[in-house]
Structure formats: structure tokens, C-alpha cells
Amino acid sequence: MAALLAVFLVGWGWSAPLWLVALFILQFFRDPVRTITDEPRAVLAPADGRVVAVEKARDPWLERDALKISVFMNVFNVHSNRSPVEGTVKQRWYHAGSFFNAALDKASTENERNALWLRTRDGQDISCVQIAGLIARRILCYVEAGAELASGERYGFIRFGSRVDVYLPLDAQAAVALGEKVTSGVTVLARLAAHG
């Protein structure tokens, strides 16, 4: 609106920076339709971005050792978040915090974050954590405990640069490597072991 008003008041030349800002915001809030990967036991990428961690770590939400896979979203990635698995939301936690660069390890424990505990149909527990970044100041989560999520279903959004951590059972097999680019709902991050 401001860019359009500037065209009438001061002309196209002076309104160009406002049009660039408007285009940036439009591209940031895009949320394209995805063809969701339908592979048994697949853990899908919950966000578009780059893999910044594939490691054994302590899951602070379920208090267990886990396989942690983290995806960093820069300002040019789609920031809609999707469920990595089909399952029930057992619990949701929100913690206020700092706004360090989301690519840093300390972002997982010190930044503003929203965590979901998901349980699959065969009883496997997964934590999926939205983490605000240096610029991001708003985490949106559309679900609460008791919600049923399909694999790849949208469940939240983080505004501007941010990160999503996924904590998996230790017997899950990672399917991505550090630095790999992933697409939410499409890229397989890992595969869960057969249970039950």
C-alpha cells in the first residue's frame, strides 16, 4: 500500500525501494503446495532450508538420548512448517528466549522456541522444535495437545530466519548429511526403525 501511494506522490523512481520491500515480504510469506512423500517410516523435513546438524544429542523435551537433525531456514526459504510424521500431538511446550543466529548450536537451548511431542501410530516418540532466529520474532503454531497430524501437514510458521530441530529415537537412520538442502514435506530426513 505504501509503495502504491509513493508512486502517486513522488513517482516510480522514489517508490522503487518500497516495491522491493513489498516483493521481499510477499516471497517470504509464500506457502507453495507440495506433493507429500508417502514412504512408510519416513521422517520428512519439517522446513525448507539447509541441514546444520545430524548428531546424537540429548532431547531436552523427552529427556532421552536421541538422533538430532536440524534444518536452518534463511530469509529466502519458505517458512511454513510441516509435520515430519503422521502422529498425535501428545504435548506442546513454548519457551520465551533470546534471538541468536539460528544457525548456531546454542539457538536450540537459548532462543525462543515451541516444541511438539509427536507419537506415531506404532508408538515412536519424536520432538519437533520451532526455533526463532536473529531476525525472527514470531513463532506461530496452529496445533495443541490431542491434535492428529498427517505426515507433511502444515502445523506452524516462523517469520524470517529460523530453525527447526527434530529429535528421533536413536535407532532411526539419518538420510541426509550436513549442508544438504531439504524441502519440507518432500525430503526424507531419516527413516524410523520398524516397531511393533
Q: Which of 83, 108, 127, 162 is catalytic?
A: 162
On the CB side of 79, CA atoms within 13 Å amount to: 27
Which candidate, 17, 29, 69, 18, places its Cα nearest to that of 175? 69
91-100: list long-range contacts, CB under 8 Å, 24+ apart.
Answer: 91/116, 91/117, 91/145, 92/116, 92/117, 92/141, 92/143, 92/144, 92/145, 93/61, 94/139, 94/141, 97/132, 99/132, 99/133, 99/134, 99/135, 99/136, 99/137, 100/133, 100/134
Is residue 108 part of the annotated active site? The answer reads: no
Distance CA 87, CA 90 (A): 9
Residues 6 or more apart whose Cβ sits within 8 Å of residue 190: 42, 43, 67, 69, 166, 168, 172, 173, 174, 175, 176
On the CB side of 33, CA atoms within 13 Å amount to: 1
Catalytic positions, please? 162
